[in-house]
Structure 1
Amino acid sequence: MTDMTNQKQGSGWRKKLPLIVIIIAALIGAFTLRDYLSFDTLAQHREALIAFRDANYALTAAAFIGIYVLIVAFSLPGATVATLTGGFLFATFPGALFNVLGATLGATIIFQAARWGFGAQLGAKLESSDGAIKRIKDGIDENQWSMLFLIRLVPVVPFFVANLVPSFLEVPLRRFVISTFFGIMPGAVVYTSVGAGLGEVFARGETPNLGIVFEPHVLLPILGLAALAALPVAINLLRKKG
């Protein structure tokens, strides 16, 4: 009996280990990489990066996506700078595609690590619970597509949290990947396009205008997409009240 208990405890720790490693790496990265994954670093090494890209385009693209995956998977600082770099090195397209692909793969790693360690157990507890918690979970389950797209289109919670929550609510992997890939695309295209114009920004000795996402011609279409994503939720609520 004791051996079986020890085996279960050991198996439990092994399942939690990937997420624990991610959290530790995120904490270490927050203190050690903050000054390296920055706009200033990109400005200082821009000529070397362009030269390397011109000589090794495929390798540069693969390395860039791999680095982006690591930044997102381990929640390292510099995701915005990485997105700008994608535009700077590869233009709006295929730079936006590389950015979205790297972010989606990194998010999927967090999602799977959390589900493997905690998600299945927590999801089962929520499903068997009663009262308000169960009603909230059922409401999310009924509108999974809409809720997943909403948290991507309107990032009111940190990206890391938006990757964890679906893993605890038993969202299918395929649904998570699709909603992440397409949900982050509008914002990624905007910031990638800003990165594509960094050459002129560097020449003027300025910093990029990241507030462009709040300008009406950018913000209104994104809010329109968010409204479309929220529409099924609103319809379901009206049906229940009726």
Structure 2
Amino acid sequence: MSKTKLIVLAVVFIGVGVFFSLDLHQHLTVDGIKSLYAEQIGPMQENNPYTLIAIFFVIYVFVTALSLPGAAIMTIIAGLIFGLFTGVIIVSFASTIGATLAFLISRTLLGEWVQNKFSSHLKTINDGVEREGGFYLFTLRLIPAIPFFVINLVMGLTPIRVLQFFFVSQIGMLPGTIVYVNAGASLSNIEELSVTGLFTPGIIISFLLLAAFPWIAKGIIKLVKVKQSN
């Protein structure tokens, strides 16, 4: 194993180890966020809003890069804390940077070995990337049934270029990001983060949009394909 792979592997193991050994995953839950908001997030939002943005951004990148659980709840929380506009900007760039790092980790640690061992199984994906390039990734990003972290890891095993992955992911993940952040922004306070608290008009509309998103995404994909063929 090369020195680069060893370093990346060590960083991944240390990061994951710290995350779970310090029980940080417990904070990325509804109850954990409520507790943090009362003790730290709320006061920091009033006194040091830019510091809070920086910390939230770094944590989001960290969670996404290592494919750890918690990105979905953090996306909703971004809307609640920062509002729709600022929340979307923060999550959009943090998620794309984190996704690209996960992509690079997958490519560095597994890319060559997986391509050599499972080339026949990856043929469909490789052919799709070679044939449609970034649009193939864009299509995957618009399918909510496929978890984003899975796409990050799988695309790292393909020949797609890093910058292409970054910019296409930025655009492809944006609609879903807006829906989730809007759901958080529709909450008036942290106490609404409960089963009963979610039944407000704004939240219901947000999740109706999320439920309709697969059909909306299909329409967008079809429209883009028609324009490409003309």
TM over 0.5: yes
Give distance in 1, aligned partners of 2:126 and 2:135: 14
Count residues with an aligned counterpart: 223
- Find the counterpart in structure 1 of residue 42 from structure 2: 50
Where structure 2 has 5 or more consecutive residues not aligned to the other structure, the ranges are none
- Find the counterpart in structure 2 of residue 182 from structure 1: 171
Once the two structures are superposed, what CA deviation does each residue of 1:115-168 show, in whole Å capped at 9, x if it has no partner? 223325655x49xx6x78646522331123222112211133332221011111
Whether the 8 Å CA contact 2:142–2:173 is kept in 1: the answer is yes
Change (3 A) 1:68 1:23: same
TM-score, normalised to structure 2, is 0.78
Matched, 1:90 2:79: no
Give distance in 1, aligned partners of 2:192 and 2:6: 48
Higher helix proportion: 1
How far is 1:187 from its partner? 1.2
Out of 152, 157, 161, which is 1:168 matched to? 157
Whether the 8 Å CA contact 2:183–2:207 is kept in 1: the answer is no
- Find the counterpart in structure 2 of residue 35 from structure 1: 26
Change (3 A) 1:196 1:213: closer
- Find the counterpart in structure 1 of residue 106 from structure 2: 114
How far is 1:84 from its partner? 1.7
Where structure 1 has 5 or more consecutive residues not aligned to the other structure, the ranges are 1-8
Whether the 8 Å CA contact 2:129–2:160 is kept in 1: the answer is no
Change (3 A) 1:214 1:199: closer
TM-score, normalised to structure 1, is 0.75
Matched, 1:202 2:194: no
- Find the counterpart in structure 1 of residue 133 from structure 2: 144
Q: Which amino acid aligns with 1:223?
A: W
Instruction: State which structure, 1 or 2, has the greater radius of gyration over its C-alpha atoms.
Output: 1
Change (3 A) 1:203 1:69: closer
Change (3 A) 1:207 1:79: farther
Change (3 A) 1:45 1:136: closer
Identity across matched positions, percent: 27
TM-align CA RMSD: 3.5
